């Protein structure tokens, strides 16, 4: 059974909202209701069912009702009509106490503008959800610390939120939501307030976390690229109604109507896909190893070159098999045969910019992040393959095949 079922849920704003719902069901249009009854239709009979463990993206332009819809899932906004079933239990029929229990244990939320409490430290923010459940102090501290470690924020526990960058603040937001150990995570435009590079990182990290935790994530966004990158399934909303539900591939290849078509027609794959989509996991060796080890590694993997990194995974250069066997004979070290001026690109470089680099390079293209850490490698042919629709990036991320198609 689906973990979350939304049946014919509507939200109307204005006077006589409930009577107007009947009119809506009788076929009144949104415009007519606005004009004659001064009622605004926020969400118009939306139905979705969300499966356990999937990342379900709700996408639409601003004003399409997606934020309203997601707020009805934990009743921050009361629906005007319809049913919301959590594990088959009707959320609408719950009393305050039961609703609080759902909010505390089942559904957590991450907000667009982070919504961190400025008067509390990072750690106190993360433990808020447990604190109000009156959990034992030491236990909730530990749990909050674990949660912060999960998002890579160890050592920041005693800072104030305003001392952190936007990306880090949203990590705190995520950690706060995870500390409750919820089954469902609602993420309302969680990455929209971040700048594009950080956003990409956060998306990747979310996917990585999801790999480990298998939560059910409902992710709201207005950004098609983001939807395609992280969504297992996408629901497209327009004027409060759900227009299409499908995998990213279905949305792209079989748009349900002209609206969806217009939405996705501008998606030129070479402008959507980036280096991080087509890269593979790199084969690496630590700089302090000898050439013999390097050669052995290459033989084992059947490759002719290796990336050399230091202890903190920073990219130092490339070695080739010929140089390595030469070095082994003459007793030189890896450092002596290191090719340091090989091509490097950032994970966010679009693949149409990669053509030139890959065609000129003699060694595979290294993909390095802002701190020069090696995150992937792009081999010749991968770029063309990606454009042709081959999913050759499976090793990189769990949902890479979706973004490729």
Partner 1 sequence: MQKIPLADWIETIVSWMEDHLVFLFDIISSVIEGVVNAFNWLFMLPHPLLFIAILGVLAFLVGRISLTLFSVVGFLLIYNLGFWSQTMDTLSLVITSALISVILGVPIGIWCAYSKGAARIITPLLDFMQTMPAFVYLLPAVTFFSLGVVPGVIASVIFAIPPTIRLTLLGIKQVSGELTEAADAFGSTSMQKLFKVQIPLALPTLMAGINQTIMLSLSMVVIASMIGAQGIGAEVYRAVTQLQIGKGFEAGLAVVILAIVLDRFTQRLFTSNKRRR
* Residue in the block written with tokens 């679009």: 350
Q: Where are the beta strands (DSSP E) in 51-188?
A: 55-59, 81-86, 89-90, 107-110, 184-188
The least CB distance from residue 84 to partner 1, in Å, is 15
Query: Which range, of 37-45, 107-115, 162-170, 280-288, touches partner 1 by CB under 8 A?
Result: 107-115
Distance of closest approach, residue 57 Cβ to partner 1, in angstroms: 20
Whose Cβ is closer to partner 1: residue 162's or residue 341's?
162
Task: Classify residue 242 as exposed, middle or buried by CB count within 10 Å of its CB (0-12, 13-18, 19+).
Answer: buried
In Å, how far are 160, 180, 208 from 213, measured between CA atoms?
27, 13, 9
Euclidean distance between CA atoms 238 and 42, whole angstroms: 10
Packing angle between helix 166-179 and helix 196-213, nearest 10 degrees? 20
Q: Which is nearer to partner 1, 193 or 379 (CB)?
A: 193
CB of 131 or CB of 326, closer to partner 1: 131
In the complex, the smallest distance separating the C-beta of residue 55 from partner 1, rounded to whole angstroms, is 19
**How far apart are CB 178 and partner 1 at their closest, in Å?**
12
CB-wise, 66 or 103, nearer to partner 1? Answer: 103
Could you tell me which residues are beta bridge partners of residue 277?
A: none
Nearer to partner 1, 130 or 366 (CB): 130
Residue nearer to partner 1 on the CB measure, 76 or 303: 76
CB of 9 to partner 1, least distance (A): 18
CA distance 251 to 233: 9
Residues comprising the chain, all counted: 405
Smallest gap from Cβ 104 to partner 1, in A, equals: 4
The size of the interface with partner 1 (CB under 8 A), counted in residues, is: 26
Residues 114-173 that bind partner 1 (CB under 8 A): 115, 117-119, 128-129, 131-133
Nearer to partner 1, 192 or 352 (CB): 192
d(CA 386, CA 405): 8
Alpha helices in 151-274 (DSSP H): 166-179, 196-213, 224-230, 248-253, 258-265, 269-272
175 exposure class (CB count in 10 Å sphere: 0-12, 13-18, 19+): buried
Build a one-symbol-per-residue string for 87-106: x at contacts with partner 1 by CB under 8 A, - elsewhere.
------------xxxxxx--
Q: Give CA–CA dist 168/145, Å, rounded.
A: 15
* List 7, 87, 113, 314, residue binding partner 1 (CB under 8 A): 113
Output the CA angle 160-178-190, nearest 5 degrees.
70
Residue 217 found at the interface with partner 1 (CB under 8 A): no
| Smallest distance from partner 1 to CB 322, Å | 59
Which residues within the stretch 46-85 sit at the binding site for partner 1 (CB under 8 A)?
Answer: 71, 74, 76
CB of 173 to partner 1, least distance (A): 9
CA-based nearest residue to 182, from 124, 110, 111: 110
The β-bridge partners of 236 are 59, 244
Residue 45 binds partner 1, judged by CB under 8 A: no
Handedness of CA 112, 116, 9, 1 (dihedral sign): positive
The verdict on 111 binding partner 1 (CB under 8 A) reads yes
- According to CB under 8 A, which one of 50, 69, 109, 236 is a site residue for partner 1? 109
Strands (E) across 239-283 are located at 241-246
Nearer to partner 1, 184 or 234 (CB): 184
Q: Shortest Cβ distance from residue 21 to partner 1 (Å)?
A: 24
DSSP code at position 209 = H
Q: Which positions touch partner 1 (CB under 8 A)? A: 71, 74, 76, 99-104, 108-109, 111-113, 115, 117-119, 128-129, 131-133, 176, 180, 186
């Amino acid at each position: 059974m689906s973990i979350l079922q939304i049946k014919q849920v509507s939200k109307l704003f204005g006077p006589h909202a409930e009577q107007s719902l009947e009119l809506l069901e009788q076929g009144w249009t949104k415009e007519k209701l606005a004009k004659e009854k001064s009622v605004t239709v926020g969400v118009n009979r939306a139905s979705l069912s969300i499966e356990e463990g999937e990342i379900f993206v709700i996408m639409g332009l601003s004003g399409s009702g997606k934020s309203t819809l997601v707020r009805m899932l934990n009743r921050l906004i009361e629906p005007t009509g319809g049913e919301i079933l959590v594990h088959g239990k009707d959320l609408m029929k719950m009393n305050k106490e039961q609703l609080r229990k759902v909010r505390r244990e089942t559904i957590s939320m991450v907000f667009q503008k982070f919504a961190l409490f400025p008067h509390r430290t990072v750690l106190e923010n993360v433990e808020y959800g447990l604190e109000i459940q009156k959990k034992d102090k030491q236990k909730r501290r530990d749990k909050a610390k674990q949660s912060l470690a999960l998002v890579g924020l160890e050592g920041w526990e005693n800072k104030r939120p305003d001392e952190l960058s936007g990306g880090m603040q949203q990590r705190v937001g995520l950690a706060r939501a995870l500390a409750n150990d919820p089954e469902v995570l609602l993420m309302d435009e969680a990455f929209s307030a971040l700048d594009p590079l950080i956003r990409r990182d956060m998306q990747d990290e979310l996917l990585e976390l999801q790999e480990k935790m298998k939560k059910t994530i409902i992710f709201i966004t207005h950004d098609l690229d983001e939807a395609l990158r992280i969504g297992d399934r996408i629901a497209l909303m327009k004027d409060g109604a759900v227009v299409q539900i499908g995998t990213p591939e279905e949305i792209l290849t079989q748009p349900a109507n002209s609206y969806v078509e217009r939405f996705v027609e501008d998606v030129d794959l070479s402008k959507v896909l980036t280096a991080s989509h087509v890269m593979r996991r790199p084969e690496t060796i630590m700089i302090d190893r000898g050439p013999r080890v390097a050669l052995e590694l290459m033989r084992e993997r059947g490759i002719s070159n290796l990336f050399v990194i230091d202890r903190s995974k920073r990219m130092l250069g490339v070695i080739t098999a010929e140089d390595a066997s030469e070095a082994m004979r003459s007793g030189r070290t890896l450092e002596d045969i290191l090719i340091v001026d090989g091509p490097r690109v950032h994970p966010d470089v679009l693949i149409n910019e990669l053509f030139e680099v890959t065609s000129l390079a003699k060694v595979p293209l290294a993909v390095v992040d802002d701190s020069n850490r090696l995150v992937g490698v792009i081999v010749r042919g991968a770029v063309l393959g990606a454009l042709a629709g081959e999913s050759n990036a499976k090793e990189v991320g769990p949902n890479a095949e979706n973004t490729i198609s």
